[in-house]
Structure 1
Amino acid sequence: MSTDILGTDARPSDAVPARPREGRRPGRPPQRKRPRREINGWLILDKPVGMTSTEAVGLVKRLYQAAKAGHAGTLDPLASGALPIAFGEATKTVPYVVDGRKVYRFTVRWGIETDTDDAEGRAVATTDKRPTAAEIEAILPGFTGEILQVPPRYSAIKIAGERAYDLARDGEVIELEARPVEVYRLNLVGQPDVDHAEFEAECGKGTYVRSLARDFGRRLGCAGHVSALRRLVVGPFDEDDLIPVADVEAAGEGEDGVAALAGLLQPVEIGLADLPEIALSSVDAGRIRRGQSVLLRGREAPVEADAAYATSAGRLVALGSIEAGEFVPRRVFNFSAPEQGLRRR
């Protein structure tokens, strides 16, 4: 989830009068862009199938007229479900949500392996073999815990500065190295027919469900690819937090669209739910905002922590670390916009 600025050293005599764009009447002033609003918070969008994550962010950013927005974890167009979208100061907390656990519900289609490891690719291997439930259950422990996984060739992983999917689309042969990922839970939850099996997986950062499906098929000798995928949980956000696109659009069209849209947001600090919270006095909060460390003597806080967040009077102040009993600020929050109307848990 940028603005390009072009510099020039051209002299005034080098300037060329701007030509009117096609379709614009001569002398008609250009239309002004709608002003962007400073909005802070999280929208947990229920992304529909067929929409890219970038398109989803663009859609809600326009509806909110937001100055700044980004998402926590890409979902492929084939996938649906939880796409956390951060506005304003919430973008500072995105890495902590991305690092959180994810839960996926997905369907594997047996008999066909594709070059993309999902239903959008072309078949590269086929077989008439179909696995039984017992055979499927027998292999799942081998895909649970810390495992080595080769990412799909069509993925956003960079190779010498280029995205793997760009190289693959250009016809280059890509050999991606196996990477350690963690799968905390993996269950077979249904078999609608002999060609399909449904699974649920809880996994850590960097795990590719498409790779799981591909490797299931190879281990079982029956080939396989993901035919359906839905993300249920991302970090602190779960199914109860999901807001359909239609609900966001309807909120923006109401009589008081600004308040209705704000009512769909969750507070910035929800994205930091897994980190220790340090409550500060107003005096110490002032020191933190000036970039100074604060001694935590007498407070209920760990002596060391790679990441923590500080609050004062229930309001976020900064992200930082705890070193030798001191809170050291790394990023300070600046809430220039009110946070009223947010959904509270």
Structure 2
Amino acid sequence: MGRKKGREIHGWLIVDKPAGVGSTDVVGRVRWALDAKKAGHAGTLDPDATGVLAIALGEATKTVPILTDALKAYDFRVNWGAQTSTDDASGQVIDTADSRPDADQIRAALGAFVGDIMQVPPNVSAVKVDGERAYDLARDGEVLELAARPLWVESLELLTAGRDSADLRMVCGKGGYVRAIARDLGRALGCLGHVDHLRRIWSGPYEAADGIAFDRIDRANQAEIEAALLPLQSALADLPQMQATEMGAVRILNGNPGQVLGHAEFGAEVWVSRNGQPLCIGRYMGAEVQPSRVFNLGQATG
């Protein structure tokens, strides 16, 4: 027997992920609970991390790259005095230090981690090495030397400082590893460090406080889950919006450049709607938009 295809459901579900659950497991639970045909997520959270996990359903999966590129905010605690194999509390201790930083020393060190920085991902991460995930290679005992990669850190601030730990908040762009920040900050301070706990408090326009609890994601609560769905275009808040003309909408839905009303910088990425319905993401070419991703929401094309 072939697998049932599932229902056509489009939109975003914001889940407040608990610790101990993998991001792909959350996607699977949402898809099962809604009997959805297609689902994905924007921005993996470590199993031990909590907070915003944005789940895209149906045509909303075409907007995942937009949200993946958006700024995200994390609250986290760094424990001083030990470096671990995973750069968090789940790993084995591989080195220790006796010194401890005070609040002024921590604040003085944070400046080096703000702006355009280069970051070496943790060995236990989803980075691909020769086509394989780094965490699979690390578990197989391989010693990895991952390449540093650029990261934009909008801000990094100290919230509270104790003798053996500190609570911080970071706002960063795509591909940031909080565990790597904890590791490198501990090294810079000469005391070593690793993440004790981590929570993503917002991701682009979505906040953890507005997320549905993971334990509510069940087929018995399907109506509650559907009521929490946000429209596809909620992920596009940072892009200029254009209105398609009637003929422009027909052309765009067929994948062709279409006439629009509105203005943006020539070549800018924009999104286009008609009568409140999102049609596409594309490039503004002056009075027309060249679609790059067309949304198939059942609109008439002629």
Are 1:323 and 2:285 an aligned pair?
yes
Within 2, Cα distance between the matches of 1:305 and 1:315? 23
Are 1:233 and 2:197 an aligned pair?
no
Q: How does 1:302-321 map to 2 (within 5 A)?
A: 302-321=264-283
Partner of 1:143: 113
Partner of 1:284: 248
- Structure with a larger share of its residues in strand: 2
Task: Give TM-score, length-normalised by structure 2.
Answer: 0.94
Within 1, Cα distance between the matches of 2:160 and 2:224? 39
Q: Secondary structure at the match of 1:222?
A: coil
Does the CA contact (< 8 Å) of 2:158 and 2:169 recur in 1? yes
Within 2, Cα distance between the matches of 1:260 and 1:228? 30
Unpaired segments ≥5 residues, structure 1: 1-29, 338-345
Are 1:198 and 2:198 an aligned pair?
no
What is the aligned residue count? 299
Matching residue within 235, 260, 263 for 2:227: 263
The structure number with the bigger radius of gyration is 1
- Following TM superposition, the consecutive aligned residue runs of length 4 or more in structure 1 with deviations greater than 4 angstroms are 32-35
Q: Secondary structure at the match of 2:206?
A: coil
Matching residue within 199, 216, 219 for 1:247: 216
Task: Give TM-score, length-normalised by structure 1.
Answer: 0.83
1:292 deviation in Å? 1.8
1:179 deviation in Å? 1.4
Partner of 1:103: 73
Within 2, Cα distance between the matches of 1:260 and 1:215? 43
Assess, with a 3 A threshold, how the Cα gap between structure 1 residues 97 and 134 changes in structure 2: closer, same or farther: same
Within 2, Cα distance between the matches of 1:313 and 1:288? 14
Partner of 2:182: 213
Matching residue within 18, 37, 41 for 1:67: 37
1:135 deviation in Å? 0.8
1:268 maps to a residue whose letter is L
Partner of 1:20: none
Q: Residue deviations 1:14-72, cap 9 Å, x none?
A: xxxxxxxxxxxxxxxx8x97661111110000000000001111111111111100000
Within 1, Cα distance between the matches of 2:51 and 2:104? 29
Does the CA contact (< 8 Å) of 1:57 and 1:85 recur in 2? yes
Within 1, Cα distance between the matches of 2:112 and 2:5? 54
Partner of 1:10: none
Assess, with a 3 A threshold, how the Cα gap between structure 1 residues 305 and 233 changes in structure 2: closer, same or farther: farther
Within 1, Cα distance between the matches of 2:3 and 2:158? 51
1:261 deviation in Å? 2.3
Q: Residue deviations 1:292-324, cap 9 Å, x none?
A: 21244xx33124134211100010111111124
Does the CA contact (< 8 Å) of 1:139 and 1:219 recur in 2? yes
Partner of 1:53: 23
Within 2, Cα distance between the matches of 1:45 and 1:122? 30
Are 1:42 and 2:45 an aligned pair?
no
Partner of 1:21: none
1:282 deviation in Å? 2.4
Identity over the aligned pairs, expressed in percent?
A: 46
